[in-house]
Amino acid sequence: MGAIHSHEITGLILAGGRAQRMGGVDKGLIHFRGKPLIEHAINRLQPQVSTLLINANRNQSTYSQFGFPVIADTDTDFAGPLAGFAAGLNSCNTPYLVTIPCDSPLLPMDLVKTLADALKLNQAKIAYASSKGSDGKVWAQPVFCLMRKELLHSLEAFLASGERKIDRWFAFEGACTVIFDDESVFANANTPEELHQLENQ
């Protein structure tokens, strides 16, 4: 089988969380260097995929103004990123879905190709990013991941059983990871202070 191409991949930007450490302000709509964080995410991901979806549970009319379909979690209990994954897989019309959070404006421009190559090489169903810190430690970045659309039923069953942890589902499906040497590309903004630090990078 050949390489996985961008036209086979739908991009999903995760903006469905409650952003409690941001005082409840919708993170995707917070400005970073003059533009909403969601706009940075779109600009970084769009060239790498065939089409985009935005997963949001609040301010959906505002998100829809960016020109892409907005989908909500089917589980209204804010079940975390996996609920967003499930919504994306359910709405995805391509063989693969790649996910990123809305608050990482520096994500790699080769993220999707790197994950796709790893997925193919390892004959895996899921490939996710990890980053190596300056101290040599490797940190999983599980919301930056590429998965096969066929995993929808597996994920729905996992969530229906009461599970919520990404690492447990990844382990169940035998996910592989790719280590990126520059951890700064996955920097995100969970607090106003972190956003300020990011702007000064």
Task: Kindly report the CATH number assigned to the domain that includes residue 160.
Answer: 3.90.550.10
Give residues with Cβ within 8 angstroms of 196, minimum separation 6.
Answer: none
pLDDT one-digit tens code per residue, 34-87: 899 999 999 999 999 999 999 999 899 999 999 999 999 987 665 689 999 999
Percent of the chain with pLDDT over 70: 93
Name the band, by pLDDT with cuts 50, 70 and 90, for residue 196. confident
DSSP-assigned beta bridge partners for residue 196:
none
pLDDT one-digit tens code per residue, 130-173: 999 889 999 999 999 999 999 999 999 999 999 999 999 999 99
Residue 86 lies in a domain: yes
Residue 57 lies in a domain: yes
pLDDT of residue 61: 94
Residue 81 lies in a domain: yes
Residue 23 has pLDDT above 60, yes or no: no
Give DSSP secondary structure letters for the chain: --PPPGGGEEEEEEE-S--GGGTT--GGGSEETTEEHHHHHHHHHGGGSSEEEEEESS-HHHHHTTSS-EE--SSTTT--HHHHHHHHHHH--SSEEEEEETT-TT--TTHHHHHHHHHHHHT-SEEEEEEE-TTS-EEEEEEEEEEEGGGHHHHHHHHHTT---HHHHHHHTT-EEEEES-GGGG---SSHHHHHHHHT-
Domain count, the chain: 1
pLDDT of residue 201: 67
Distance CA 77, CA 48 (A): 31
Residue 11 lies in a domain: yes
Residue 181 has pLDDT above 60, yes or no: yes
Residue 1 lies in a domain: no
In this structure, of 20-29, 37-46, 191-200, the range with the lowest mean pLDDT score is: 20-29
In the predicted model, what is the mean pLDDT of the chain? 90
The range of the structural domain enclosing residue 177 comes to 6-199
Name the band, by pLDDT with cuts 50, 70 and 90, for residue 193. confident
Residue 1 has pLDDT above 60, yes or no: no
Name the band, by pLDDT with cuts 50, 70 and 90, for residue 187. confident
Residue 142 lies in a domain: yes
* CA gyration radius, the chain: 16
Name the band, by pLDDT with cuts 50, 70 and 90, for residue 4. very high
